[in-house]
Amino acid sequence: MNPLIYDFDFPELAARVKSWGEPGYRGVQVWEGLYRNLWLAPEEFSNLPKALRGKMGGLLAFEALRPVARHESRDGETQKTLFELRDGLRIETVLMRYPAREGRQARRTLCISTQVGCAMGCTFCATGQMGFKRHLSSGEIVAQVLYYARQLADEGEKLTNVVVMGMGEPFHNYEATMAAIDRLNNPQGFAFGARRFTVSTVGLIPLIRRFADEKRQVNLAVSLHAAQDELRASMLPINEKYPIAELLEACRYYVGKTHRRITFEWALIEGVNDTPEQAHILARKVKGLLCHVNAIPLNPTQGFAERGASRQRAKVFKETLEQAGVPCTIRMRRGVDIQAGCGQLAVRAGKK
Ligand code: SAH
Ligand code: SF4
């Protein structure tokens, strides 16, 4: 298989083009073609001589992902694409459109995947239920964003946010995930601001600390879901290795290093973790920490019997937290009717 062009950062791409005997500025032209003009195939590079386009197409792969199915939610605001990778494995990417409201601009948020499947095995998550297949390369992560950036550009729109909350645990594939973000952030290319990315982790402590040390401007979300170890471990097996007290210590380290607010994610499960008691314990444990809780009623998945919290219970959970001094938002369910909601992404293994 030819190397994937999106797997190169700028210096690597420039060196590659130069090694073909091309002048230095050609590397810049290729980079700009990919990341500014969003060209997907060598034939589109109208800024290059024809021979070079042919060479590029012969030596490098441009097609990281092939869309094989597309689902749109009934309200038309959520769209999920199933992509086939070069080895036949499949991933999903979700676009969410949020209309403008109350002085807030309209948002076009893309939810991207970092792995095929996931090794973390969270019980309530469809990706976790399918197990781990492999890591995505940085180029495969980048390509999801470029695909949708191009689609939105064709519709006269723009991507405003990228959340790394699709299939997989981004901190288990740390290098590729950060390389993809850096590549999309490059001001000479796609120039997508670091603050418009949010990475969500199940709580891999050493990587949270590394992320903090790197002082990235990318937003960090941590999947907490429970305020006590026994309960959390029953939902998130990784809690056995990285228990809550140590996790929160790493979160405090992150906030101390970056002065950025951390988000805690909480999938509200009826009668399990949506109780005022959990809210009180959580509030006590995160006291003084610059944080915010993002709670969402659990989305249904095949392999998990429990139900999402009712609207009323979610409201009580939020109010209890807020009275105890912890800001909390209840997020709306999105794309549940097309299995594109949080934690609902899963594909059958292998080729069809
Ligand atoms: N692996 C990362 C990011 C992907 S999952 C992580 O776990 O943080 C994105 C978010 O969806 C996480 O907070 C995850 O716990 C949550 N999630 C998983 N399954 C869900 C479900 N069935 N309903 C609601 N949220 C879910
Ligand atoms: Fe993996 Fe996140 Fe799903 Fe857990 S919730 S199995 S870490 S994708």
Q: What is the DSSP string of 182-210?
A: HHHH-TTTT---GGGEEEEES--HHHHHH
pTM as predicted? 0.96
Residue boundaries of the structural domains of the chain: 5-59, 65-338
pLDDT in tens, 173-225: 999 999 999 999 999 999 999 999 999 999 999 999 999 999 899 999 999 99
Is 125 in contact with 160 (CB distance < 8 Å)?
A: no
pLDDT in tens, 54-76: 999 999 999 999 999 999 999 88
Query: Considering only 32-41, 94-103, 214-223, which range has the smallest mean pLDDT?
Result: 94-103
CA 11 to ligand 2 center in whole angstroms: 33
Pocket test for ligand 2, best of 129, 132, 169, 200 (most atoms within 8 A of CB): 169
Tell me which DSSP letter residue 287 carries: T
Q: Which CATH number fits domain 65-338: 3.40.140.10, 3.40.50.300, 3.40.50.1100, 3.20.20.70?
A: 3.20.20.70
Tell me which DSSP letter residue 189 carries: T
Ligand 2 and 92: CB distance under 6 A: no
Ligand 2 and 122: CB distance under 6 A: yes
Mean pLDDT, the chain, rounded, equals 95
Q: Is the pLDDT of residue 348 over 80?
A: no
Q: Does domain 5-59 have CATH number 2.40.50.840?
A: no
Q: Give catalytic status of residue 92 as yes or no.
A: yes
Share of the chain above pLDDT 70, in %: 99
> What span, in angstroms and rounded, lies between the C-alpha atoms of 5 and 139?
7
Crossing angle for the helix pair 311-323 and 276-285, to the nearest 10 degrees: 30
Q: Is the pLDDT of residue 349 over 90?
A: no
What is the per-residue pLDDT for 22? 96
